[in-house]
Amino acid sequence: MAILKIARMGHPVLAGIAAPVADPTDPELKRLVADMIETMKDSDGAGLAAPQVHVPLRVVVFQVPGEPIDETLSAVERFDHTAPLTVLINPVIQVMEEVLEGGWEGCLSVPGLRGWVERPRHIRYTGFDIAGNRVSRTARGFHARVVQHECDHLDGMLYPLRMQDLSKLLFESEVHHWLEQQETQNQAVK
């Protein structure tokens, strides 16, 4: 396995449409996926798409740890908020709820920045794993956000292009200042 070089915003590979994978069980693809997983973990990322490592194929890997448990959620809904290490080949996303949820996003291809992005909060995704088995899951919250973010890479879309308000595109080192300012403004309104 190897740590792969991550393409940064502006590189042409990030602006193109990735090609479908003909055979999810191809040994070369298995090597790529192993390297992508190692690269994602080494970079402390939640996900990684093949175009980010200069390979224009419809492949993403991601892992979503558990969020603090909301006791009002059913067991199924709690499961929808997490994902084990997942390989998703030729993914398709279906929006289950049109309701949008905002959240801060970062990206290994846009290092040092965070942006506030609104995305559908409840989705279903399908695709194939590295053994060629069909994958179908529903996702909510951060899990849904990670899947949508990574799949955007397959269509040449980086998160800043999804942002409605570019005043919420911040350096990571400055996000805490922005949050403090928002808290102060919220307290002044009360």
Residue 153: give its domain's CATH number. 3.90.45.10
- Show the tokens assigned to 156: 């040449």
Question: pLDDT value at position 24?
Answer: 97
DSSP β-bridge partners for residue 103: 117
- Show the tokens assigned to 171: 């350096």
Structural domain boundaries enclosing 136:
12-189
In a domain? residue 1 = no
Q: Is 150 a catalytic residue?
A: yes
Three-state DSSP at 17 gives coil
- Number of separate domains in the chain: 1
Instruction: Please indicate, yes or no, whether the overall pTM of this predicted structure exceeds 0.85.
Output: yes
DSSP β-bridge partners for residue 49: 60
> Of these residues, 77, 97, 105, 150, which one is catalytic?
150
Which region holds residue 44: left if phi is over 0, alpha if psi is between -120 and 50, else beta? left
Question: pLDDT value at position 176?
Answer: 81
In a domain? residue 4 = no
Question: pLDDT value at position 100?
Answer: 96
In a domain? residue 80 = yes
* Residue whose structure tokens are 């909060």: 121
- Rounded Cα distance between 150 and 167, Å, is 23
Question: pLDDT value at position 73?
Answer: 52
Instruction: Tell me the one-letter amino acid at 108.
Output: L
Question: pLDDT value at position 78?
Answer: 52
Question: pLDDT value at position 9?
Answer: 97
In a domain? residue 75 = yes
- Rounded Cα distance between 41 and 12, Å, is 24
Question: pLDDT value at position 125?
Answer: 98
Assess contact for 123 and 144: CB atoms under 8 A: yes
Question: pLDDT value at position 189?
Answer: 78
- Rounded Cα distance between 65 and 84, Å, is 7
In a domain? residue 3 = no
Residues of the chain with pLDDT under 50: 68-69
Nearest alpha-carbon partner for 40 in 26, 30, 27, 50: 50
In a domain? residue 6 = no
Residue 125: Cβ within 10 Å count:
23
In a domain? residue 5 = no
In a domain? residue 149 = yes
